[in-house]
Amino acid sequence: MSVFLQFIKSISIIDVIKLVMYLALFCNFSNAITDVKTQLHAFPEKISWINWEQSKDFKFNPDATFDTMEMIKREGYPAETHVVTTEDGYLLVLHRIPGGNNSLPVLLQHAVLCTSADWIILGKGKALAYLLADQGYDVWLGNFRGNTYSRAHISLSPLELKFWDFSFHEMGIYDLPAMIKFITNMKSQPLHTYVGHSMGTTSFYVMASERPEIARMVQKMINFAPGVFIDKVESALKYINPFLREFKIIMRLFFHDELLPQNDFLKFTSKYICPQNFITQQLCASIIFLICGNDPEQFNYTLLPVILGVDPAGTSTKTFLHFNQINHASKFRQYDYGREKNLLMYNSPEPPDYNLANTTLPIALFYGLGDLLVNIVNVKRLYRILPNVIDLYEVPWRKFNHVDFIWAKDAPKLVYERVIKIMRNENLNNVTSTK
């Protein structure tokens, strides 16, 4: 009983608001409601079945430690942490599974509200970071400003508004250049491959547009659910639009513009509530399905405590607003400050578009048909603009969703095998469709 009481005590209004916003951020609500109904039907009639007494004997799974370094070491790999400083003073943590002397460097970059840990959650023999290490690559895992690992700055505190005055634009023009320069300097060779998931691709395209000299240090790029055009989807982004003003005010007043960091409520839930029994597992998992699309077959319930222990990992409100803007405008362009400030900032009433057409490095685009945010129409639009797409790949699983790229049971077979082939310049069978 005490665990239950502790749980209730750990909930505050703020947590509830945060949770709702988190859901709103990713989900397609209309789909989601259907999903919830389906989920609820799957529940036994009485939720009071939950045996809270059991919690006394409940032994917490020691694997549910959420530190990337420790998780890597526990799997028996060497792990390193490096801190890089961006030109505008943010301190970013790069995790690394170092390769041998002549190993080729690859950088894996996480999605919004995620961290380096997402690349290892599936565990040894499955997670992309380990598979690449097994192939002899020098594996680097980045952390964008504002997430659990990169909440530091040479002079600003994360409690200040100014710290959170960034979007994926700054991640593209400062964070990625800092990481890529650090790796290529250390290795004295270009980055062999950049793998981005969702926002990890968004910021890369910002960099390719605004800092092409850095993009030239990268030899190949692989996209999981490229987040460049994100309109024409049944996304929850549109449901938050009527409340955008209130959203901004709440975020500023209560959260100094920080969006959904890891917190005690989530930690507690993931540690003590979700793994309790079948029902709590289902409840927790349905939250994930709400957020990302319903794909229970690919979801490994055992990983739930680890996933919730890692994500959401925090970002700025401005990042969310910038995504919301490109969704609205149906254009991949810089932050819209409103007509007057745009004139000052950009010398034009509208923000300038990012230049995608000059992104000349070889690019592979992977997408899933169950993805609520990045759909096939958007990916094809990007495909037609990019000059050098070497692979356009629809993951052969009908419900494959936005996070299946990192968490799906069959991600190794459905996705990573092909990633490794592309990295090794091996022949792909069903190669790109026509434009």
Ligand X SMILES: *[C@@H]1O[C@H](CO)[C@@H](O)[C@H](O)[C@H]1NC(C)=O
360 lies in the binding site for ligand X (CB under 6 A): no
Of the pair 12, 302, the CB lying nearest ligand X is at: 302
98 lies in the binding site for ligand X (CB under 6 A): no
Interface pick for ligand X out of 6, 81, 241, 358 (rule CB under 6 A): 358
Q: Is 198 a catalytic residue?
A: yes
Continuous segment of H or E residues that includes residue 37: helix 29-42
How many other C-beta atoms can be found within 10 angstroms of the C-beta atom of residue 257? Answer: 23
**Which residue is catalytic, options 198, 203, 209, 235?**
198
- Contact letters for ligand X, residues 153-192 (x by CB under 6 A): ----------------------------------------
If you search the block for the tokens 């890891």, which residue do you land on?
A: 262
Of the pair 85, 281, the CB lying nearest ligand X is at: 281
**Interatomic CA distance for residues 166 and 322, integer angstroms:** 9
Interface pick for ligand X out of 184, 219, 355, 432 (rule CB under 6 A): 355
Subset of 219-248 contacting ligand X (CB under 6 A): none
- What is the SS3 assignment for 109? strand
Interface pick for ligand X out of 381, 409, 421, 432 (rule CB under 6 A): 409
Joined together, the tokens standing for residue 104 give 């080729």
Q: Is 402 a catalytic residue?
A: yes
Interface pick for ligand X out of 89, 158, 212, 362 (rule CB under 6 A): 212
12 lies in the binding site for ligand X (CB under 6 A): no
- What is the SS3 assignment for 106? strand
Residue 107: strand pairing partners: 140, 194
- Please give the C-alpha separations between residue 274 and each of 49, 210, 294, 382, in angstroms, as whole numbers: 15, 43, 18, 39
Count of residues that interact with ligand X, criterion CB under 6 A: 10
Question: What is the closest distance, in whole angstroms, from the C-beta atom of residue 151 to ligand X in the complex?
Answer: 28
Q: Name, in order, each residue with C-beta under 8 angstroms of 202's C-beta and a sequence gap of 6 or more.
A: 168, 172, 196, 226, 227, 228, 323
Interface pick for ligand X out of 32, 228, 273, 303 (rule CB under 6 A): 303
93 lies in the binding site for ligand X (CB under 6 A): no
347 lies in the binding site for ligand X (CB under 6 A): no
Identity of residue 25: L
Verify cis geometry, omega within 30 degrees of 0, for the bond prior to 349: no
**Interatomic CA distance for residues 317 and 31, integer angstroms:** 25
100 lies in the binding site for ligand X (CB under 6 A): yes
Name the nearest CA neighbour of 164 among 236, 77, 251: 251
**Which residue is catalytic, options 110, 192, 197, 402?**
402
- Which active-site residues does the annotation give? 198, 402
Contact positions toward ligand X, by CB under 6 A? Answer: 100-101, 123, 212, 300, 302-303, 355, 358, 409
